[in-house]
């Protein structure tokens, strides 16, 4: 309508342009695959991103083309995020932990035209190369001096940039153009692609900068342990430049001592990642008797943050933001930063509140429904399947009619596959993945609750609760645990320790000790593989009668 506001498209290139001018002292520090640490400012990043964009255009890459990356968190990966999508192409990030079969599937399904890879991933591509598109161009993300021998023709990233103009006028196009593509590593069937738009990506960056505001701040350093190769590192490559925070990229060394060293050196204020990486960091903090300099904030998500982990961080003065989301949601859906009035609660109650998955971010609506699709109340009691709606939530899957048809309910809400409750203060509690809930005698037991409680026992490093078949009760819960030391608690000790939080029939019937738990490509315990490993396991009562 005449006389109204201007319409300027929400393009990711506008974030880069803004950071280059408004936050020119902030930038990116990276632990490189070459073995050293590299630092530069956002204006310097922008100059190289312009060079990359010119090089891509020179290769014939245009609007809508898919360009793949297979890389750790580092400045060149950041350059690809902006260089590819800045010219209207789609940055398809590939998870290197996928199986060869899944990798072959997604590269062919996405019809990637160019694949950029870190030197470390040459063997992965060498092993599957004959199954990838024949006309694919490969670019190794390093300089000439570090180029590895490759059994396939490959270009050198730094040579590609050399001599290209360091300035660019970013093209303008519809904000609903795709900018990124990430496949979910579903536990069954082929991976499914979530296709992000420029609009959804920019809005998501605004959203997390506002909701997870404790982590951000001009001049602060944020370290994404969460990979750029999965769900856009929870949006940090966009939100950090937007607010003028610097990024510290850890590269491939994600063990406790390496993370501690980098965080300490670079005075990282906030770090984001899944619970498993924090176990390593916390062990190193314990060994050193101190936390890394300036470390005050941690965002934990991807799977449930154990209460004991939240308590340990908070006790040492590191504030925890427990977040929930998924690939299909760009990914952040809720965040566990507490409202001001909760700061007056006793410490223990604050930890209880932070153990929940938190309140929805702006732009995400939540509803829980029963088996008939009837919406359940947000009373903290009712438990139902969780559906979401929002401007950074997928409306279907990339080139997958079958999965798209099943993704939304009749009202257009996306089914998360999670089972949850929501309390009157708006706090979401994820009880389980629907398929991981344990059903005993017709009643449900949350595997997350059992794991959370058991992990607070000092003798248990990590664990997973699963249901095993039982003739009378349908399923019974057992705990599969990794010991923290030589002193393993007995089954009775485990039951006694967690008994105050559960009904008696919800307590596990057995503890199975293992060396390690099988993990998925995204750092979660793979219950599917765990069940396969325990295929021959029998419930203790069945053994007695056998």
From the number of C-beta atoms within 10 Å of its C-beta (0-12, 13-18, 19+), residue 346 rates as exposed
* 15 versus 304: smaller Cβ distance to ligand AMP: 304
Residue 16: both structure tokens together? 């880069």
> Would you give the end-to-end CA distance of the chain in angstroms?
78
HSE of 374 in the Cβ direction (CA atoms, 13 Å)? 6
* 42 versus 229: smaller Cβ distance to ligand AMP: 229
Q: Give the span between the Cα atoms of 466 and 451, in whole angstroms.
A: 10
- Shortest Å, Cβ 357 to ligand AMP: 5
Angle at 474 between CA 469 and CA 479, to 5 degrees: 50
- Shortest Å, Cβ 51 to ligand AMP: 33
Q: Give the span between the Cα atoms of 100 and 95, in whole angstroms.
A: 11
From the number of C-beta atoms within 10 Å of its C-beta (0-12, 13-18, 19+), residue 465 rates as buried
* 46 versus 325: smaller Cβ distance to ligand AMP: 325
79, 266, 284, 328: the active-site residue: 328
Over the Cα atoms of the chain, what is R_g? 24
* 89 versus 281: smaller Cβ distance to ligand AMP: 281
129, 166, 444, 541: the active-site residue: 444
Q: Decide if 328 is catalytic.
A: yes
* 107 versus 326: smaller Cβ distance to ligand AMP: 326
- Shortest Å, Cβ 522 to ligand AMP: 4
**73: DSSP letter:** B
Q: Decide if 142 is catalytic.
A: no
Other C-beta atoms closer than 10 Å to the C-beta of 379 total 10
* 73 versus 303: smaller Cβ distance to ligand AMP: 303
- Shortest Å, Cβ 437 to ligand AMP: 12
Total residue length of the chain = 546
Q: Decide if 29 is catalytic.
A: no
* 247 versus 430: smaller Cβ distance to ligand AMP: 430
Alpha-helix residue ranges (DSSP H) falling in 247-393 = 256-265, 275-288, 307-315, 347-355
- Shortest Å, Cβ 126 to ligand AMP: 27
In 3D, which of 544, 536, 453, 449 has the Cα closest to residue 494?
453
CA distances from 103 to 52, 133, 168, 185, 302 (A): 25, 12, 33, 10, 21
- Shortest Å, Cβ 393 to ligand AMP: 12
Residue 459: both structure tokens together? 């003798």
- Shortest Å, Cβ 340 to ligand AMP: 22
* 285 versus 323: smaller Cβ distance to ligand AMP: 323
- Shortest Å, Cβ 112 to ligand AMP: 21
DSSP for 104-168, please give it.
HHHHHHHT-SEEEE-GGGHHHHHHHGGGS-TT-EEEESS-GGGPPP-SS--EEHHHHHTTS-S--
150, 276, 296, 439: the active-site residue: 439
Q: Is 531 helix (H, G, I), strand (E, B) or coil?
A: helix
93, 137, 184, 327: the active-site residue: 184
List contacts with ligand AMP (CB under 6 A): 184, 231, 301-304, 322-327, 331, 357, 416-418, 430, 433, 522
Cβ(298)–Cβ(318) below 8 Å: yes
* 178 versus 300: smaller Cβ distance to ligand AMP: 300
- Shortest Å, Cβ 195 to ligand AMP: 14
* Residue 86 CB contacts under 8 Å (≥ 6 apart), including other chains: 11, 12, 13, 16, 49, 53, 168, 170, 171
Q: Decide if 184 is catalytic.
A: yes
- The overall longest dimension of the chain from CA atoms, in Å, is 82
Cβ(207)–Cβ(200) below 8 Å: no
Q: Give the span between the Cα atoms of 313 and 306, in whole angstroms.
A: 11
Residue 303: both structure tokens together? 């799977």
Residues assigned a catalytic role: 184, 328, 439, 444
């Amino acid at each position: 309508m005449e006389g109204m506001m201007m319409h300027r498209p929400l393009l990711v290139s506008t974030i880069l342009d803004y950071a280059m001018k408004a936050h020119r002292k902030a930038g990116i520090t990276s632990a490189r695959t070459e073995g050293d640490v590299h630092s530069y400012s956002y204006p310097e990043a922008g100059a190289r991103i312009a060079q990359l964009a010119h090089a891509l255009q020179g290769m014939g890459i245009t609007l809508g083309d898919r360009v793949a990356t297979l890389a750790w968190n580092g400045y060149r990966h950041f350059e690809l995020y902006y260089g590819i999508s800045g010219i209207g192409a789609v940055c398809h990030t590939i998870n290197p932990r996928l199986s060869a079969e899944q990798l072959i599937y997604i590269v062919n399904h996405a019809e990637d035209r160019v694949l950029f890879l870190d030197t470390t991933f040459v063997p992965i591509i060498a092993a599957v190369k004959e199954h990838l598109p024949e006309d694919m161009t490969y670019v190794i993300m390093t300089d000439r001096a570090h180029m590895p021998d490759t059994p396939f023709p490959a270009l050198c990233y730094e040579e590609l940039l050399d001599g290209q103009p360091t300035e660019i006028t970013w093209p303008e196009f519809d904000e609903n153009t795709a900018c990124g593509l990430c496949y979910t590593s579903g536990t069954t069937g082929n991976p499914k692609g979530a296709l992000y738009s420029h609009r959804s990506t920019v809005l998501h960056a605004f959203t997390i900068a506002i909701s997870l505001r404790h982590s951000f701040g001009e001049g602060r350093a944020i370290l994404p342990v969460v990979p750029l190769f999965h769900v856009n590192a929870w949006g940090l490559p966009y939100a950090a430049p937007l607010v003028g925070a610097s990024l510290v990229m850890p590269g491939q060394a994600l063990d406790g001592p390496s993370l501690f060293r980098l965080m300490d050196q670079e005075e990282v204020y906030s770090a984001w990642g899944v619970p498993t990486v924090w176990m390593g960091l916390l062990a190193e903090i314990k060994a050193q008797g101190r936390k890394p300099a300036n470390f005050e904030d941690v965002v934990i998500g991807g799977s449930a943050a154990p209460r004991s982990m939240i308590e340990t961080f908070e006790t040492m003065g590191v504030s925890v933001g427990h977040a929930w989301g998924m690939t299909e949601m760009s990914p952040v859906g809720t965040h566990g930063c507490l409202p001001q009035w909760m700061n007056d609660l006793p410490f223990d109650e604050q930890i209880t509140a932070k153990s929940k998955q938190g309140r929805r971010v702006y732009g995400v609506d939540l509803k829980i429904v029963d088996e008939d699709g009837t919406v359940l109340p947000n009373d903290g009691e009712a438990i139902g399947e969780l559906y979401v709606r929002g401007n950074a939530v997928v409306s279907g899957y990339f080139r997958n009619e079958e999965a798209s048809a099943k993704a939304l309910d009749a009202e257009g809400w996306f089914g998360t596959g999670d089972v949850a409750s929501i309390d009157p203060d708006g706090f979401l509690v994820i009880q389980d993945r629907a398929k991981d809930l344990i059903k005993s005698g017709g009643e449900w037991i949350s595997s997350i609750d059992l794991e959370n409680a058991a992990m607070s026992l000092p003798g248990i490093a990590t664990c997973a609760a699963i249901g095993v078949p039982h003739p009378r009760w349908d399923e019974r819960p057992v705990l599969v645990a990794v010991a923290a030391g030589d002193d393993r608690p007995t089954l009775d000790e485990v039951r006694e320790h967690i008994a105050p939080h559960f009904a008696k029939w919800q307590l596990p019937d057995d503890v199975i000790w293992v060396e390690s738990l099988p993990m998925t490509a995204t750092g979660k315990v793979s219950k599917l593989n765990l069940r396969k490993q325990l295929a021959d396991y029998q419930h203790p009562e069945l053994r007695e009668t056998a």
